[in-house]
Amino acid sequence: MATQLEVAIIDILTHMKKRGIYLVANQKSQDMCENLIFSIRDTGCNLPIRIIHFGGKVINSDYLLKEAELVFFDDAPVEAKAFVQELRTVLTDCPLGYLYRYLAWFSDWDEFIYSDNDVVALCNWEILLDKLEAFDLVHADEEYTTKGFFNYDRPDLLCEIFGGNALDTAFTAGHVTVKKNMKMIQDFRAAMKWFEEHPEIPQKHDQSLMHLSSLLGNWKILNLCKNENWLSSWAGDYRNALHLIQQIQGKNARISHIHYSGGTPNGDLAIQDLLLSRQDDRGRMRQLAGIVVNHFTGYYKMRHWHTRGRRFLKRVAAMF
């Protein structure tokens, strides 16, 4: 058992580590980004936050520019930009802006959290970083229950190569806590090579690449949902905020965040009320009025099918 002096030294070293949160955003996503950062700060988390410009119109929110540092791809180290360009040649199904999250591995922070914008923090995320002591990556999701459906075209072949339990270590790339080391970059490169050698198995996006890198590199991963009874972070597992609260009370479990993945959250579903948390009463009602109009005029459905159509045509064009 560690002595009081050893515990004190460990605590000092832990807090000497450079830590922070990385996000990727632009004007299109800045409303959700504002809500995300509001929820992070509202838990008492004071970690520094950096927002990498996704592309398109640059964020112009005074709140975001006050609470976070805005950084650009062009200002990244040469080796970081070159690495993203490497990824671009392999991850053909992934928009370039999504790949900017990999710039975090070239930062001056020892440990970091990466989060998508469509997330609401439900606890102080410094707790997640404290769990990195014995792990390379910590996450809180139930991606492993999908059996590789969103990561691999042939998950059966993946299991033949890496073993029957290969899919049990899957994680969502939209929210991860990472202890940075350059070996991970080597693992990413090994995964890119593997993608080229086995093109029929993985889907060509960053989540499958991250998981495959963890398999090739034998990363030490902690899944808080699977190993410590934390609740699922996917919004689709809850009917509304009441159901979420009841689940937390009923199972006496913790929850890190809610992730509205699976499409653009419009705010027209009951569980999506949390996306309006930063708004005051008047602002909430004004935003809800716009949501009601867009929902009942069919605008959201038209936008959904328009986006899917563009992606389909882009994939068809890439085949020729």
Per-residue pLDDT of the chain (320 residues; tens, 9 = 90+): 556 655 444 454 445 689 999 999 999 999 999 999 999 999 999 999 999 999 999 999 999 999 999 999 999 999 999 999 999 999 988 899 999 999 999 999 999 999 999 999 999 999 999 999 999 999 999 999 999 999 999 999 999 999 999 999 999 999 999 999 999 999 999 999 999 999 999 999 999 999 999 999 999 999 999 999 999 999 999 999 999 999 998 777 899 999 999 888 888 889 999 999 999 999 888 988 988 888 888 877 887 776 677 766 766 665 56
For residue 293, give the DSSP letter: H
Pick from 197, 200, 189: nearest CA to 155: 200
DSSP 8-state symbol, 202: B
Q: Tell me if residue 17 falls in helix, strand or coil.
A: coil
The predicted structure's pLDDT at residue 302: 82
For the record, the structure tokens of 131 come out as 């769990």
Integer Cα distance of 206 and 209 in angstroms: 5
Please report the sign of the dihedral spanned by the C-alpha atoms of residue 19, residue 138, residue 94, residue 313.
negative
Residues whose CB is less than 8 angstroms from the CB of residue 80 and which lie 6 or more positions away in sequence, other chains included:
102, 103, 105, 106
Sign for the CA dihedral angle at 170, 172, 175, 181 comes to: positive
- How many other C-beta atoms are found inside a 10 Å radius of the C-beta of residue 182? 9
- The region, left, alpha or beta by phi > 0 then psi within -120 to 50, assigned to residue 71 is beta
Rounded to a whole number of angstroms, the CA Rg of the chain reads 20
- pTM score of the predicted model: 0.89
- pLDDT score for 320: 62
> How is domain 4-278 classified at the architecture level of CATH?
Alpha-Beta Complex (3.90)
- Classify each residue of 47-80 as buried b or exposed e, where b means 16 or more C-beta atoms within 10 Å of its C-beta: bebbbbbbbeeebebeebeebbeebebeebeeeb
